[in-house]
Structure 1
Amino acid sequence: MNVRMKLGVAAAALMAAAPLHAQEMPDTMVWTSYDVGSAGYAEASAIADAFGKEYGTRVRIQPSGSGIGRLQPLLQGRADYAFLATEAFFIGEGAYDFATPDWGPHQLRAVAGRPAGITLIAAGDAGIDTVEDAAGKRIAFVAGNPSVNVKCEAILAFGGLTLDDVEVITFPTYSAAMSSMTRNEADATCTTPTTSQLYELAESPRGIHYAPLEPGNDAGWDQLLEVLPIMSPSEEDVAAGLAEGETAKMAAYRYPVITTTAEKSADEVYTFIKALDETFDMYKDGTAAMSRWTLERSGKPAIDIPFHEGAIRYLEEIGIWTEEDQAWNDQRQARMDALVEAWDSFSSENSDMSDEEFAEAWMERRSEVISSMN
């Protein structure tokens, strides 16, 4: 009996010392992300590697160059999580590529999202010191890329400008748009401050300037958020042409956004975000931006879609989630619910429209719904 008691005590001690959280993680998971070579793929890979080493979880990442390609496996139940860009916001609203009869707004949820800076970035000789100075200037947009273009529209709104106040120059590719300032084919564009073409601009005779999005400009931020309510003030210290020790005042959006479905078990999501937190030291140096995955930054609004209840439970548990965060989440959820409800009636009443007519009419209806909530 004494031997059995001693063995029982030893077993209990071993169980107490074992990482119980490892037993909660699934054996396998499937994630989707941007293409191989993208920041999203690199960051998903670093996190997956940490999960494998810490918990023995095997993660298969399915890369795709399109938002629809990243979303379909998630919605069809073939992927557990998706590392998304602004398509997370677009599908939550049924906007742009998702303003079609086959799509519309979907109830997706965020687990966490790494902040990335963006502002109006101008050639140094263009005379654009502030966003307001962009009036009448040539602004580079990217053909068929609403993710980039709508952010620029929102940033222009910060300065009280609309697309009618500037000369929009549309380029066929992202790369062409970003290098257009160096070639003097445009005066400014909106992008992240570490895009490779910006280093060329900074070294060119034109130079580079970051139009500041001052955090204390309440009117400017109100105007920006009316266009795109997923950004918040941010100070960036890593940017092309920025001297060491200097910072630039920008807006932060989230990329990538770890996304799942509303139906995903709260316990599963709780376990996932807990694992994301526990393995942070293992992946934080995976890329230059991965230190921003700390939950103090990636687990806070604003973000593209509402946070999942399982994520909120963990964020509350570790003291990060505040009453203000919950109020933001409730408001974001109410907006999504209203759009889903409006879509249900709109789509059934307008099924005879062409896809183009349908999308245009829905975007108008979407604007009406959003305006009614402000």
Structure 2
Amino acid sequence: MISDLTRRAFMQRSVMAAGASLVLPGTLHAAIPSKLQWTAADVGSSGYIEATAVANALIEQHSSRIRVVPSGTSIGRMMQLKQGRVSLGFLANEAYFASEALYDFSTREWGPQDLRALMGREALFGIVTTANSGIKTIADLKGRRMALIQAHPSTNFKVEGVLAFAGLGWDDVETVEVPGYSAGLQAVLDGAVDAAGAVVGASVLREIEASPNGIGWLPVPADDKEGWDRINASAPLFAPAMMTSGPGASAEAPVPLVGYRYPILSVYAEATMEDVYDMTKAIVEGYDLYKGAAPVMSEYDVNKAGHPPYDTPCHDGAKKYFEEIGVWTEADEAWNTNRLARLAKVQEAWAAATEAADGQGVADKDWPAYWDQFRADHL
């Protein structure tokens, strides 16, 4: 997480990119349009700050005008991308949910969206508890109190994936509803729950670490193939990752957790190979200009961010560039092929469900439940 001090300092440097009222001179490398609009999360969020950092680099290098349009909701960001009001989205897990027609995207108006990724930096997620809770493994969570966040499918989805590592689900824990993400971590600190899902970097984690009870992370070791197969059966966007610094971890005592990508730089599949190739190249070429803008920006190194798993398949234009510079691997290609096949399967299931529902006269208000059951039966 970006500190408040870093955020304030960087936001002061980034007004130009947000408003797109000033163009800096620079040297042209990849060919990108002279005017661009991107979307990201709200002003002040890490996603917005990162998008603005990348935009500043491209403004300097290409003399382009780039406006980052903030949106506080996943629907808002996706709508801008779908309607063509922006050419690139710095998305969160709505990229995965939209491609799978889940949650907000299970309505008739949405359905599985044909999204593609350019790249995405690694973020870390895990289940946090206190050091003296007696909970040492994910399996130990059975019957214990677990925070369930109201109206926050992204975190709950990640928790569900981590629980699957040990063959558990929400029915195997005692769920305690909390009103928000931070409230879940506060509940761990206060002792109201035994564990909660956490994005590494949340400030309250330092409070848990400094408390008399201390902090504990539940390891998700990479060498447990069966555990990871269970995670990836429902969440192919997750991969093994190691936390080597932060609350409760160090280089000498690292903690194996779950890695995912945030933000995911996303477009629709219909974006041309040439346009996506050029944009991917421009972002990679600009790395030296934005890598120091915030601590997390070093994760945009193409040797890290240029590899899946992503929330969606990689766009052919981005893949072409990664192949040219020798980043794309056989494992990347295998993952991407499987992800494309999965997306096609979801799209086929949606078409079949729609046809069946129309034949049965299923009302629009009943469609999400109908689709949810159809998914369970066919996907």
Question: Cα distance, 1:265 vs. partner?
Answer: 1.0
Which among 134, 137, 146 is matched to residue 130 of structure 1? 137
Query: Secondary structure of 2:158's match?
Result: helix
Deviation digits for residues 120-143 of structure 1, max 9, x if unmatched? Answer: 111112111111111111111210
Note the 1:180-191 alignment, pairs <5 A: 180-191=187-198
Q: Distance in 2 between matches of 1:303 and 1:366?
A: 21
Q: Does 1:196 align with 2:203?
A: yes
Secondary structure class of the residue paired with 1:116? strand
Is 1:288–2:292 an aligned residue pair? no
Alignment check: 8 A CA contact 1:339 1:369 kept: no
Corresponding residue of 2:374: 365
What does residue 29 of structure 2 align with?
21
Which digits, 9 at most, give the CA deviation of each residue in 1:157-178, with x for residues without a partner? Answer: 1012111111111111122112
Cα 1:322/1:243, change in 2 over 3 Å:
closer
Larger Rg: 1
Tell me, yes or no, if the aligned pair for 1:153 and 1:227 is still in contact at 8 Å.
Answer: no
The question of whether the paired residues in 2 share the 8 Å contact of 1:274 and 1:314 is answered with yes
Contact 1:140 1:189 in 2 (8 A): yes
Aligned mates of 2:377, 2:299 — CA distance in 1? 36
Q: Which residue matches 1:155?
A: 162
State the 1:239 CA deviation: 2.1
Give structure 2 stretches of 5+ with no counterpart: 1-25
Q: CA deviation at 1:308?
A: 0.3
Residue number among 198, 214, 227 corresponding to 1:207 in the alignment: 214
Residue 114 (structure 2) pairs with residue 98 (structure 1): no
1:299 is matched with: 306
C-alpha offsets along residues 61-106 of structure 1, whole Å, 9 cap, x if unaligned?
A: 1111110000111110110000000010000010111111111101
What amino acid is the match of 2:368? Answer: A
SS at match of 1:234: strand
Q: Does 1:308 align with 2:320?
A: no
Aligned partners of 2:365 and 2:199: how far apart in 1? 31
Map residues 1-374 of structure 1 onto 2, 5 A cutoff: 19=27, 21=29, 24-243=31-250, 245-351=252-358, 352-355=361-364, 357-370=366-379
- Per-residue CA distance 1:241-294 (angstroms, 9 max, x = gap): 334643211110110000001111111110111111111111111111110111
Q: Is the 8 A contact 2:291 2:297 kept in 1?
A: yes
Deviation of 1:20 (Å) = 5.1
1:181, 1:327 → 2: CA distance? 39
Could you say if the C-alpha distance between residues 324 and 241 of structure 1 is closer, same or farther in structure 2, counting changes exceeding 3 Å?
closer
Q: Which amino acid aligns with 1:251?
A: V
Q: Distance in 2 between matches of 1:46 and 1:362?
A: 40
The TM-score normalised by the length of structure 2 is: 0.90
Matched letter for residue 367 of structure 1: A
* Distance (Å, rounded) in 1 between the aligned partners of 2:184 and 2:169: 19
Shift in Å, 1:364: 2.4
CA distance in 1, matches of 2:342, 2:311: 12
Deviation at 1:56, TM superposition (A): 0.8
Contact kept in structure 2, 1:194 and 1:238, CA below 8 Å? no
* Secondary structure of the structure 2 residue equivalent to 1:350: helix
User: Structure 1's 356 and 227: CA in aligned 2 closer, same or farther, altered over 3 A?
Assistant: farther
What do residues 284-320 of structure 1 show as CA deviations (whole Å, max 9, x unaligned)? Answer: 1111111011111111111100000000000000001
In structure 1, stretches of 5+ residues that fail to align are 1-17
Question: SS state of the match for residue 29, structure 2?
Answer: helix
CA drift at 1:348: 3.7
Moved more, 292-301 or 255-264: 292-301
| Pairwise CA distance, 1:238 | 2.6
Deviation at 1:236, TM superposition (A): 1.3
Secondary structure at the aligned position of 2:188 is classed as: coil
Report runs of 4+ in structure 1 exceeding 6 Å deviation: none
| Number of residues of Structure 1 aligned to a counterpart in Structure 2 | 352
Letter in 2 for 1:263: E
Q: Which moved more, 1:320-329 or 1:307-316?
A: 320-329
Write the distance in 1 (CA, Å) between the matches of 2:250 and 2:349: 49
What's the C-alpha RMSD, in Å, of the aligned pairs?
Answer: 1.5
User: How far did 1:354 drift?
Assistant: 4.2
CA contact (8 A) 1:140 1:168 kept: yes
Cα deviation, residue 355, structure 1 = 4.5
Deviation at 1:361, TM superposition (A): 1.9
Q: Deviations over 1:174-213 (max 9, x none)?
A: 2211211111111111121211111111111221111111
Q: Give the distance between the partners of 1:90 and 1:363, measured in 2 at CA.
A: 13
Partner of 1:3: none
Seen in structure 2, the aligned counterparts of structure 1 residues 83 and 213 have a Cα distance that, compared at 3 Å, is same
